Structure 1
Amino acid sequence: MKTLGWIIQDHKCRLEAQQEFNFLRWRINSKEMNMKITQDRQQSLIQQLQILLIKIRKQQTIRIRQIASIRGKLIFLKPSIPKASFHIMIMNQIIKQFVNNNNWKIEIICPKTIIPELQWWITTINLNIPINIKPFHHQAQLTSDASKDGWGGTFQIIGQKEIKIADKWRNKESNNSSNFREISAIYLSLLQMLPQIKRYQIQDILVQTDNQVASYNINRRRANWTLAEIVERIIDLTVKENLRLRVIHLPGVLNHTADSLSRLSRSGDYGIKKEILQQVLKEWNIKIEIDAFANRKNRKTRRFYTVNKDKWAEARDGLSQNWTNKVILVHPPIPLIPKSLAKIKEENTTAIVIVPIWEGQYWWPMLQELKIKAKVLGKSQEVLEMGAKMKKRGLMLPPGEMGIFLITKMQKENNYSENL
């Protein structure tokens, strides 16, 4: 090439193919598909940080330009240090406080509040953990939403059934801003799905949220003071579990399932329409004796147990009652489905069970094991009746279709299902 007139800078070129090489002061490993800081940059930065640290401890004057210069070098490390933005916040505050009219030559005595931040950087740069640079190909998809009442979401590993997750806020969490709640919903959904993520060795997860602030902050791994704590928790989790997230905005009108789960009624203030239940009971030739989860307005039998206090109820807390030798109607609030199925199995009772058809839930295999008969009833909004409290609070019915199942003490020789 030189003979053709090209000027070649030999010290800047790699004339032989290599799987590990330095580029723009990054050490890139194309075999393992990762990169880290080069050794010379690592040593140089640690030395500069230590000098700055000594001056601050001795309360010596420092040019603001020097602090800004170090900050710029640390920001450049963001591709390999996911939490970089959260550990220059005090530095940013100091620069903003003392720089007036672009006077970068000003000298200051730097506050000691910056010391923990600088120590974190020295430790992190010294570790120099390689960062994954493989192309992102999501193996699972998480969709989440949050409301004043709670949070909810769906999680689906490619090629498997969708799992629905939901819970209510603890203590004063509902008082947080809507942006904080939306980001918290993503964090809590990831935490709850962690066993599945580990089991199937998931690394890349596509996250969908209808909150643009959440998607923007998590993707750029940076947030203002009010959201920094919860965003940093997500980054901590991804680093610890070797996960990569890509968060995209999903318009609210398309986020119906997660929205319903976040507003889910957990007290059971809804019930199956009486005429639909009676039709199935007539087909199966069975008569129920007691309703295990009801109130005086939605009970389907004269005798009933209640979740909340009710003078008309035979007893409170159906799960603590004896179900043996009774034909029980079991339409539990969503959080009580696993305990209800376990109680039916333990007491070997006869029960009519009404639950959402959520095939990805961990309790679904137990239900399939216990059932004698099954039938799809239809979409929840078509077969369930909402209670007055639900409507007043803006709560939602379980999303998807509802199913009705017969579980008896008989041997499952004639086990069959209709439309399920």
Structure 2
Amino acid sequence: MSLGLGPIARLHTRGLYRLLNSRFSWFVDLKVSLEAKEELRFWAEKLVLYNGHRFWNAPSAVRVVFSDASGLGYGGYMVEHGCHVAQGQWTEHERGKSSTWRELAAVVRVLGAFASKLAGNRVKWCTDNQNVIEPEWIPRAENELADYFSRLIDYDDWSLNPAMFQTLNNLWGAYTVDRFASSQNSQLLRFNSRFWDAATEAVDTFTVNWKGENNWLCPPVYLIPRALGHARNCNCEGTIIVPQWRSAVFWPLLVGREGQFYSFVKDHWYIDASPGLVLPDILTTEIWQEIGAYKDPQLAHLSKALPDTVLKARADATVKKYLGAFNRWSRWAEPKTEITSFPVSTTQFVLYLQHVGEATKSKAAVVEAVNAISWIQRMAGQEEVSHNGLVKLVMEGLQRQLARPKEKKESITVEMLQEKVDAMSKTPSLSEVRLAAICLLAFAGFLRFSEIAGIRCCDVTISATKMVLNIVSSQTDQFRQGDQVPMARSGSVTCPVAMMERYIKLGRLELSSTGCLFRPLVHTKNGESLRPTGSISYTRLREIVMDKLKNLGYDPNRYGLHSFRAGGATAAANAPGLKDRLFKRHGRWKSESAKDGYVKDSEERRLEVSKRIGL
């Protein structure tokens, strides 16, 4: 019976076998025991349920799949003439799920990715979570490859903002296939992927002929040359997204020596660092739908250019900051089913403001959130949250709660600059002269770091009596009209003009060049030299300045790069006879309050107040 019914036969035939073993002949009568009767009754009722046990073991699986999940994502592979890989990342909401949920989701998604390959086959599935699947549990040590894929972060798995994609799709589409994508970031229903995916049309897009399609190409940077070559070999049409890196290996494949795109590039569009069309959902609002509804070619062209023009009302840095604040609001709202990120509800937004205040302990973060959402609503033609009375009260309340005394950095003094110049060696290196020139220039010109980094060689004019800097853009120059900052020769060791001439000579700079004036250094066995391109970074300059102050015996924590602008303004404000109008013009301040915030009056001048009140 065991052969036909399995192990259950042994458990429920013991009494019957004892009865049979008590016989001394096949022809004798036996008295059936109570135990044997119970077993006969069991089989009369249950036989139908246990009938059908296999006479032999099941055939071995013809497909073997391993899967695993981590806190970052999932991964799996199928062993069949090589290794087919399925991999993906969890969303922020999915990362908060239990490990068992993630393991189950990994099985489902890997199974979906390999469905076409596994259909009609017996599959052996291996995972290291015993709660997930019955067929075969394996120790984690034997599931290392799937575990590796689950922790793999594909940093090249990126895509263009959907709003920007839609704009290009309207301009040059309609696109038919997204050639470099995954199920998480595909812009189109049809896509090719790096790993196996449930909805992908092909794994490894370079094995597919792109001809006959309007291809959307957003490849990893390292694959741009190969993508261009494959597109040319297929003689296909499409749009490719590439960074504007003129020094990159792929740039000569697109642009000739004259700086013009090759003839196979039919059209191009430079996307600004803060483009007007990366804003989620805004272009779908009623006002923009109406603007974009015109069929006339000239009106359609104007409507497409309008969003970018609207964004130019704010500086690029401001737009970038507001976009970041809006994205933080969207991420906070996403997992909450009762809250929608756009359009913004006032009753929901005040709860977010409370969250920002509690999480950041920063007044600036609260104000930034209000300004960013208001800016988004203004462009969308909606009522702004900043005009709402409740929002104003919440913002004022948080500002009072989070108020802290300001700890302003100290100002650099003329004496400190003299110490710095005196500490230079007799034959100073290029790095020493560069630092001295930056410090003296920032002090004498009341310069911010952004202005220092933006100075080009051609922005400097030097004569026998003076030096003039052309400031192309400034924080207070909203309409980019530019400004000029003159500096006189002083004849002293701290003369900014003389130090600038030394720097230009040591760095072998040409004042006709459009390259940055203060560039990073290259250290070789032959000494120091300036890099041909690029500008010194804020982090590096601050590090150098703080090290120098520490070596001179000052506490670097009390100073910053803005200390030079504040120090120059303070020295000028306390200088007798200097007209306030010239002082304000030199520092490019638009208001008296902004200017006064940089000035630290000397004690002698402050004592003049009490001396002149007649006591």
TM-score range, shorter chain: 0.3 to 0.5
| TM-score, normalised with respect to structure 1 | 0.33
State the TM-score, normalized to the length of structure 2: 0.24
More strand by proportion, 1 or 2?
1
- Bigger radius of gyration, 1 or 2? 2
Structure scoring higher RCO (CA < 8 A, sep ≥ 6) equals 1
